[in-house]
Amino acid sequence: DKTVSLRKDLSEMHEWITQAEEEYLERDFEYKTPDELQKAVEELKRAKEEALQKEVKVKLITDSVNNFIAKAPPAAHEALKKELDVLITSYQQLCSRLNGKWKTLEEVWACWRELLSYLDAENKWLNEIELKLKATENVQGGAEEISESLDSLERLMRHPEDNRNQIRELAQTLTDGGIMDELINEKLERFNSRWEELQQEAVRRQKSLEQSIQSAQETDKTLRLIQESLAAIDKQLSAYAADRVDAAQVPQEAL
């Protein structure tokens, strides 16, 4: 009869809801790799869309039960109405939870992509430092040329900490949730190690260039003094020659 048919529809829908809950909400997900995380985002999106598509089925069952109740004797109302209310509540909760979990995983995926973006930006900067350190390894020229190399290195080192702070915070957010913790820790360890190494090398190079500038300045000063001394001697000799002073009268220190 009609009651049996309606109860069968209600039961089948309940079973589908229970299965969906077990498959997508109660199962423990582990996200150890980006592929696993991306796959889970796509799975949840499909499950959310499938649940929304079941809204037509729930509406048909609701209409069928309400039509039956409107014509059936009161004794048949209560049990069916209660079953329908439970179904509607369970269905709405399922849709809400699936949507919530999908949004959460979408945010986690966005967080991971953002982390990669910041790491990429910082690694490009570290690449620039590496190239600059190589370029300043054996700077030729006087104090001015060396000073220009030092200035360019110092300009490059005046890099805001914002990106590194973002990397730290995003990584913490993900690993706190057990998301790809091994992979992220490995990436962070490699990045931080490289960052520290290049920072220390840059500080050493700055000191080395500062010492080279000082040495070059001292050399320039010595050369200038020698040039000035030679110019003075040349002037003195020229004056003697102009006055046609006999070589024997030239003071010994001028020779």
Residue 78 burial class via C-beta count within 10 angstroms: exposed 0-12, middle 13-18, buried 19 and up:
exposed
Distance CA 107, CA 23 (A): 21
Q: Taking residues 248-255, what's their average pLDDT?
A: 54
Higher per-residue confidence, 141 vs 160: 160
Q: How far is Cα of residue 29 from the mean position of the Cα atoms in its chain?
A: 24
Please give the pLDDT value at position 58: 95
Higher per-residue confidence, 72 vs 223: 223
Highest mean pLDDT among 27-31, 72-76, 84-88, 136-140: 84-88
Distance CA 29, CA 19 (A): 16
Residue 82, classed as helix, strand or coil, is helix
In a domain, 31, yes or no: yes
Please give the pLDDT value at position 76: 64
In a domain, 248, yes or no: no
What's the token pair of residue 207? 């000191």
What's the token pair of residue 12? 């089948």
* 132 pLDDT higher than 60: yes
In a domain, 217, yes or no: no
Residue 41 burial class via C-beta count within 10 angstroms: exposed 0-12, middle 13-18, buried 19 and up:
buried
What predicted TM-score, i.e. pTM, was given to this entire model? 0.78
Residue 208, classed as helix, strand or coil, is helix
In a domain, 250, yes or no: no
In a domain, 242, yes or no: no
Residues 6 or more apart whose Cβ sits within 8 Å of residue 47: 20, 23, 24, 98, 102
Q: Taking residues 164-170, what's their average pLDDT?
A: 95
In a domain, 173, yes or no: yes
Please give the pLDDT value at position 92: 97
Please give the pLDDT value at position 238: 82
Domain count, the chain: 1
| CA-angle at 245, arms to 244 and 248, nearest 5° | 140
In a domain, 249, yes or no: no
* 153 pLDDT higher than 60: yes
Band (251; pLDDT cuts 50, 70, 90): low
Q: Taking residues 49-69, what's their average pLDDT?
A: 93
Q: Which domain covers residue 62, as residue numbers?
A: 2-212
Residue 19 burial class via C-beta count within 10 angstroms: exposed 0-12, middle 13-18, buried 19 and up:
exposed
In a domain, 20, yes or no: yes
Distance CA 78, CA 69 (A): 9
The CATH number of the domain holding residue 124 is 1.20.58.60
